[in-house]
Amino acid sequence: MLTLFFLILPALVMFIVSFSRKKSAKYLLSFSTFLILIPVVKIFNLPKPFNLLDNYLIVDKLNSYIFFCVSIVAIAVSFALLTLEKHVKVKEREYHRFYRFFATFWIGLILSILANNMGIFWIGLELATLSTVYMIKTNKSPIADAEAWNYMLVGAIAISLLLFGIILMYASAKPILGEEAMNFSSLLANASKIPSPFLFEMGFVISSLGMFIKMGFFPMNLWLANIERASFYPVGALFSGILETAVMAGFFRFSEIAMKVNYPHLVGFTLFYVFITMFIVAFLIYRAKDFIRLFALSGIEHMALIAIFWVSGGAFAALLHLGAHAFIKPALFLSTGVLESSGKYHFSGALKGYSGVKGKIFWFLVGLFLLAIISLPPSPMFFSEIYGFAAMIELAKQSDYLLLMLFIIILILILTLVIFYRFIHVYQMMKYEGEAIEKKVYLSEIIALLIFVVALVCLMLPPSIEYLKSIT
């Protein structure tokens, strides 16, 4: 119970400080975010699994890894927020309001990521979703207000699907588990005994649709890019590095159970859904005209790959890819504050016009992040995609639909090549075309990007690789 208190304490401090009118409050808010890491490191190093709150919140290797990743993202975003007003017009009151809902968002994440109960997972995810609506509205503009309401509607659809699916899964196992049918661990241990597997599968599909919609999958591919375009750029970093990661953690939990109920059905559903999603997203990326939309749509592609790697038996590849995405994509979103200086959203010349040591470090790091997100070595995504697609091919060899699965795998690879070509073209436009407009880079932004660089390097160290392999 004490550990849970220390996990929530930084968010409570952040919430209280956000009501302060002092100028120093900005730095106190940033420091309160840094405090998040202390209890997270503690639970990361404790023997696992252990009960954080009875049988409702449990810490194991999987969720402690995910929680550690999102904590790094939160700290880096807080550094970038120190210079938010240098790039966009934001009132001090709105800045504090952003942190107030960020604190609420963080409590929701604690509940959803560490939940061993489907109901608590749903409550945590809903709390995180509602708080991000107000974070979007921090940007006082008609477009941001409209997109916040759009997000509310889409989020309501997604969370309703998730809740309905949870009800069906609970009903499928209640005859043998009673109230324990809400617990992930109980469902996983008794998956083969569920008396109504069809009912569970229907619940899983409906819940997955809700989670996929929250990540921008088919058929609602554009809403995520629209709200990230309308809001301030740190919101995009929080969505891509934290919220999408937490939603994917939920998919991991549900799919672990579905694997034991009917594995072929799980693979078929996920493979089909991922293919349709990537088919649409690849060509939306090809037509993207600004950084926010490019990065938002790219995030959908990577979430789709993580999902299919996971269900194909490439758990290590999925987790490595998830961590790499959680660090690279927020770094790119935070970079847009500088790349889109003076409201210029075009790609041409975006990597020109930087002077001084900070400017040179900035364009060098952004260039590396752009190349890393398309899986060029030595990016962790290069290795995760090799392991992931190898797992998919191995699964195809063991199935009764070898040619069909190989055909779909080849099509997915072709779609990733389309995205690869687009990013390379954008990189060339940024570096070699257009005028050099002078842009200002601040120390806190460099620190934020360097945090992500260190995190990516640590992710590739042998102890980290062994930890990821030991999770499953």
Cβ pair 246, 112 in contact under 8 A: yes
The pLDDT value given to residue 434? 73
What span, in angstroms and rounded, lies between the C-alpha atoms of 358 and 365? 11
Cβ pair 325, 249 in contact under 8 A: no
Q: How far is CA 181 from the centre of its chain?
A: 28
Residues of the chain predicted below pLDDT 50: none
Burial class (CB in 10 A: 0-12, 13-18, 19+), 274: buried
Task: Give 354's DSSP letter.
Answer: B
Task: Give 51's DSSP letter.
Answer: E
Cis peptide before 234 (omega within 30 of 0): no
The pLDDT value given to residue 341? 66
167-221, pLDDT tens digit by residue?
999 999 999 999 899 999 999 999 999 999 999 999 999 999 999 999 988 887 7
Burial class (CB in 10 A: 0-12, 13-18, 19+), 35: middle
Specify the residue for token string 């209890």. Answer: 39
The pLDDT value given to residue 303? 95
The pLDDT value given to residue 31? 85
Q: How many CB atoms lie within 10 A of CB 89?
A: 11
Burial class (CB in 10 A: 0-12, 13-18, 19+), 294: buried
pTM for the complete prediction? 0.94
Tokens of 256: 């672990």
What span, in angstroms and rounded, lies between the C-alpha atoms of 255 and 169? 12
The pLDDT value given to residue 44? 83
DSSP string, 334-386: HHHHHHTGGG----TTTT--B-HHHHHHHHHHHHHHHHHHTT-TTSHHHHHHH
